[in-house]
Structure 1
Amino acid sequence: MSPGPVDPAAAAEAVASVPDGVLLVDKPVGRSSHDVVARVRRALGGRRARRVGHAGTLDPFATGLLLVLIGRATRLQPYLMALGKQYETVAQLGATSTTGDPEGEVTITGRIPPDPPSLPTGTVRQRPPAYSAIKIDGVRAYRRARRGEQVDVPEREVTVSAFEQLWREGDRAGFRIDCSSGTYVRSLIADLGDAYCLELRRTAIGPYAVADAHQLDAPPETWRVVSLLDALASVLPVVELDADSARRAGHGQRLELPAAPPVDEVALCHDGEPIAIGRREQDGRIHPVVGFRA
């Protein structure tokens, strides 16, 4: 039986009930992170509704967890992007790719890395792929590469806390990788020698797991959005303010908070409401630098 007509009033009510916060989406293959954000934005009523963004790009060939930020949660983007990541990848062995994935020009070498290969952990120096979103002189590296320009992406240090071969079947192998933000799994696999990422899936970002994510076509009335307060608490220690301090923080005034934890930044909240992110100054006072009151 086909579904009945959509009640516009009920649909509008469902959209209005979606709170500001973080929506966990399981990005499908073939869709860009921008596509996912556009889909969520349309579901919320278009550009004139609330701001929508994301915290960490996934390439179109990759699948898995994408944190979509709704409304005031977009102000948390740099903090959520800094969380560690977990990936599972299938590597094609005995071949290389100009992009490190199936979308590039593939060359069959026939040379198979040892089983198991040497898998680096700890602090790792890596060179991100030329086909990456890193900006070089203000231009995305992949744009320069697609124009045929020579792209020299500088090396960077990343942290790989776990790198495990899960299985090996002929010229393919599966790996699990836990790493810091900014790590390029395509580069980790390419550095094994004669290998590239055939499949890539992000399974976790900090405390968030893809098992809890929604499919892209899930309607707004089914969304389970991580509240703005819970999202803040996942990246910063929370300091509860009294009503007067909350008022002052909401106006950007510096606070004396001797009970605040000795860290550089804290989440300032009052009665379950996020007020601001506060940054500690040299004199010990807390300066609200990112506000959350509408």
Structure 2
Amino acid sequence: MVSNNLRNIHGVFLLDKPTGISSNQALQITKKIFLAKKAGHTGSLDPLATGILPICFGEATKFSKYLIKSNKQYRVIAKLGEKTSTADSYGEIKNVISARFSSNQYWLALDRLRGNILQIPPIFSAIKYKGIRLYQYARKGIQVPLKARPVKIYKLNSLYRSKNIVELEISCSSGTYIRSIINDLGNFLKCGAHVIFLRRMRVSSYSCHSSITLDQLNFFKNKYFKKSKKIFFDKLKKLLIPIDSIVSNFNKIYISLKDTLIIQNGQFIKLFTKYQNGLICIMNTKKNFIGLGKIRCQIFLYPYRLIKKDLYNKYNFNHTFKNK
């Protein structure tokens, strides 16, 4: 597989990231298998973590920020009584304290972690301070000020608790660090805690039940690539989800082919029906995705972020995305 064989492909692939590798490593492996010219992931997972990592190919990368900023759902198992340097089992154990607390103290600690909270990110994270990522400071033993950030925990359910092991299900806003949630839980219970298992179950409307592992991708590659590249790429194409699934939560507007050309040429059109001001998903009368538009004054539709006009027929899919 050499660089001059790279292809222009467009769509979303739901990768089930394995443990032990970074999100960027998972992206590069996937990109190589697909022979894709352009690809990007939509929000990092810790090397320890597994689960859904949506990867945007081609024109889908124009809309990836809406997945990065979307809500997430996780399943996490934590060990109480041990505090580590990274707040997970990859770090060095810094403190060991007997996990002695009552059930009432446990539930009160969980309650403090729900709703709108201020969260201090882990020092081993990709957040930047003065243009340098925090983990780069941490690796050199340099201490930098960590600023608390507002996040929202929509749901935090205790699924299992036995001695010093707890399992939680967490639904949260973008930017939430599960390692920080567990670290705070350990602090509230005065015993320390760290993550020993983490799986991302959902990103926006995408579920991990629809995701594909690297082992499955390699199975397709080993079975079909040498026999027939066409069959192999056809198999991969069936794994792609339409670009407009990224913005499936946006309201839709259907416009004529004539108005589509006007929008694609960078001009606005006047609507006959009033709409709420803001971003809206533009579809043509053939139900092909054009991109995002912006409603102004309730009756004017302006282009905002469009896919290339020579692609919207070719790379719109006939099936409708259905989340499992």
- TM category, shorter: 0.7 to 0.9
2: distance between equivalents of 1:254 and 1:290? Answer: 13
Equivalences for 1:178-257 in 2 at 5 Å?
Answer: 178-192=171-185, 193=187, 194-217=192-215, 218=217, 219=220, 221=235, 223-232=238-247, 234-257=248-271
Q: Does 1:122 align with 2:112?
A: no
Check the 8 A contact 1:92/1:196 in 2, yes or no.
yes
1:127–1:187 CA contact under 8 A, matched in 2: yes
Identity across matched positions, percent? 30
Runs of at least 5 residues in structure 1 that lack an aligned partner in the other structure: 1-7
User: For 1:258 and 1:137, how far apart are their aligned partners in 2?
Assistant: 49
**Which has more helix, going by share of residues?**
2
Name the TM-score, length of structure 2 as normaliser. Answer: 0.79
What is the one-letter code of the residue matched to 1:215? Answer: T
Partner of 1:279: 294
Partner of 1:174: 167
- Whether 1:259 and 2:273 are equivalent positions in the alignment is yes
Return the alpha-carbon distance in structure 2 between the equivalents of residues 148 and 259 of structure 1.
Answer: 60
Identify the residue that residue 305 of structure 2 maps to in structure 1: 290
Give the counterpart of 2:148 among 150, 155, 170: 155
Matched, 1:56 2:54: no
- Are 2:122 and 1:135 aligned? no
- In 2: Cα distance, 1:278 partner to 1:186 partner: 37
State the distance in 2 between where 1:258 and 1:198 align.
56
Q: Contact between 1:26 and 1:63, CA under 8 Å: does it hold in 2?
A: yes
Counterpart of 1:175 in 2: which secondary structure? strand
Query: SS of 1:133's equivalent?
Result: coil
RMSD (Å), alpha carbons: 2.2
CA deviations 1:80-113 (Å, max 9, x no partner) are: 1121100000011011112111122212222345
The answer to whether the 8 Å contact 1:141/1:153 transfers is no
**Is the counterpart of residue 30 in structure 1 residue 20 in structure 2?**
yes
**CA distance, structure 2, for counterparts of residue 228 and residue 165 of structure 1:** 35
Q: CA deviation at 1:44?
A: 2.2
Structure 1 residue 258: Cα displacement: 4.7
AA in 2 matched with 1:268: I
Residue 266 of structure 1 aligns to a residue whose secondary structure is: strand
